[in-house]
Amino acid sequence: MKKIFLMILGVIAMAVMSCSKDFLETESTSAVDQSIIFKDTKAALMAINGIHRVMYEKGNYAPKMGYQYYMLYMDFLGEDLIYTKSNAQFRTEADWTRHRQTTNQYPRHIYEYIYKIIANANMVIENIDNAEGPQEERDYVKGQAIFYRAFSHFCAVQLYGKRYDRAGNNTQMGIVLRMESSTDPKERSSVEDCYVAINEDLDEAIRLLSNVSFERSTKMHINVHVARAIKARVLLTQGKWLDAAEMAKMVVDHSGAQMDNSCYDYKQGRCSDATNKEWIWAKIAQPELETATLFNFYSYISNTNISYNKNTPRAINNLLYEKISATDVRKPLWVEDVTNHPGLVYPPGGNRYKWMSQKFIVDHPDNSSSSYSGAIITADLAFIRLPEMYLIMAEGYARGDEEGKARDALYVVAHDRDPMYSLSSNTGDDLTEEIMTQRRVELWGEGFRFLDLKRLDMPLDRGPKPRSGYNQGGAVNGWKNNFNPTNLDPLASNFNMYEEQAVGEASRYVAAGAKEWQWVIPELEIQYNPLCKQNPL
């Protein structure tokens, strides 16, 4: 257990962006004596800054990169982000094999990253009360630490535990809850007990952060609105529909965030700029630290970044794409006709495939500051945006039989994205389906789809194969760079359509509730903690 959990806080401390309060002007350091890290609140803030950095800290080999990897993994396991062509990275994630391998270093990285944050958060929680400084500053530090413990446990239980059943009796195995710094062997708690602990932590974080009057210096830090937003996600995952909707409404009403579709403008920084008014919590790019390719989110999602995306453009599921209105500002984020599309952005020599993404643009040919060579390799990354909160409101109210409120919340997002959208007249399942379609389009590529499928007990269904007589995919049938193949089956999805089984047919459909929805516990955890039982293999 010590090998996985134990970490010295001092070596991960980093600077925060400056602001007017001395407390928030903590300087950068790479070596802090742990005996003084909790001497006062200003020093303790460096420990919190260290946790912020762990969120995107790269591991020893690509694509290990903390929460960024987690986000990508959640969409590669879904049906909406299409893997177009075989390549070295993310193929085994997409085909549902890697997360079922107990000795594989990549899913183990996610487990270790999560518990690294928990271990550091516990050290802050256990020491901050004795730190010198104003109570408000102690509340700020402690509230963020408690938030991170809750957030990390929530990330873990969604992977390693079975789904939370809103009908009750959630006695199924969840995760090992680490509520203190001990690394002693410990059994996995039930899913119910995990969510009790997560909710109690979030409630305490909200209470503490509500006492803070000063503004955070960067969207990378946690404030009460971030804590409430994650609380809304937790309640939604538990199927506590109206509670989730009301919590999300608090974020909408009080965070100060505003709908801002300028993120979709055709520019460098499209969907990757934290100055956008919708962004509530984010990773702020650190170009001086993020100097290597393949160690950040955009190396694997932005089709304008020279990386694995050059040969394997990310694409949207064509059946979802067809549901987007032609007047929706999000429609141009994916390109159906790659031969005739004016201004298609892609790296020099890069492949172009139908329905490829233009959502994340970090390097643009019109950028005057550098040549268009894929030289810009990092950017800001949104963890929470305001549209998600409106969509939680819409889903929660719809499933909670308050359909008028659901339509109103849905309208805010749908009309902002499509000026021709009118207030929905749908009811029942049709209304819920409309809301979920908007959620899939709005949050495409941002780390939600696997988690949504699992919480709703839905199967993975990547769509039907082409019927006999239609183009079956592959280079011999015209699926190659900058071509628009003909004779496509209008009922088929583009999963595995680009070449002969780019991912594998075994993952075209996975039944709801199958054992594959649970990630296996890394073998190292089992070795160091023999009380931790493995999931069914």
Q: Structurally, how many domains does the chain consist of?
A: 1
**Which amino acid, residue 84?**
T
Residue 171 maps to a domain: yes
Contact call for residues 148 and 67 (beta carbons, < 8 A): no
How far apart (Å, rounded) are the C-alpha atoms in residues 437 and 440? Answer: 5
What are the distances in angstroms from CA 301 to CA 76, 77, 164, 279? 10, 14, 30, 19
Residue 304 maps to a domain: no
Reduce the DSSP state of residue 109 to 3 states and report it: helix
User: pLDDT tens across 475-528, in order?
Assistant: 777 777 677 888 899 999 999 988 777 888 999 999 999 999 999 999 999 999
Please tell me the predicted confidence (pLDDT) of residue 22. 52
CATH at residue 101: 1.25.40.390
Ranges of residues in the chain with a pLDDT under 50 are: 1-21, 25-32, 367-371
Residue 248 maps to a domain: no
The one-character DSSP state at 468 is T
Tokens at 40, concatenated:
């006062």
How far apart (Å, rounded) are the C-alpha atoms in residues 204 and 259? Answer: 29
Q: How far apart are the first and last CA of the chain?
A: 22
Residue 128 maps to a domain: yes
CB contact burial 275-309 (16+ within 10 A = b; e otherwise): ebebbbbbbbbeeeebeebbbbbbbbbbbbbbbbb
The one-character DSSP state at 214 is S
Residue 406 maps to a domain: no
Please tell me the predicted confidence (pLDDT) of residue 478. 73
Please tell me the predicted confidence (pLDDT) of residue 15. 31
Tell me the β-bridge partners of 83: 314
User: pLDDT tens across 204-236, in order?
Assistant: 999 999 999 999 999 999 999 999 999 999 999
Residue 536 maps to a domain: no
List phi, psi (to 5°) of 83: -90, 110
Place of tokens 């696997």: 450
What are the distances in angstroms from CA 106 to CA 93, 98, 111, 391? 10, 8, 9, 32
DSSP collapsed to 3 states, 364-386:
CCCCCCCCCCCCCCCCCEEEEEH
Q: How many CB atoms lie within 10 A of CB 185?
A: 12
List phi, psi (to 5°) of 282: -155, 160
**Which amino acid, residue 284?**
I
Residue 195 maps to a domain: yes
User: pLDDT tens across 283-317, in order?
Assistant: 999 887 777 778 889 889 988 776 677 888 899 99
**For 482-486, which contacts have Cβ atoms below 8 Å and span 24 or more sequence positions?**
482/338, 482/339, 482/351, 482/352, 483/338, 483/339, 484/337, 484/338, 484/339, 484/354, 485/354
Contact call for residues 440 and 430 (beta carbons, < 8 A): no
Which structural domain, as residue segments, surrounds residue 155? 2-84+91-214+517-528
Residue 197 maps to a domain: yes
- Percentages (nearest 5) of helix, strand, coil residues in the chain: 40, 5, 55
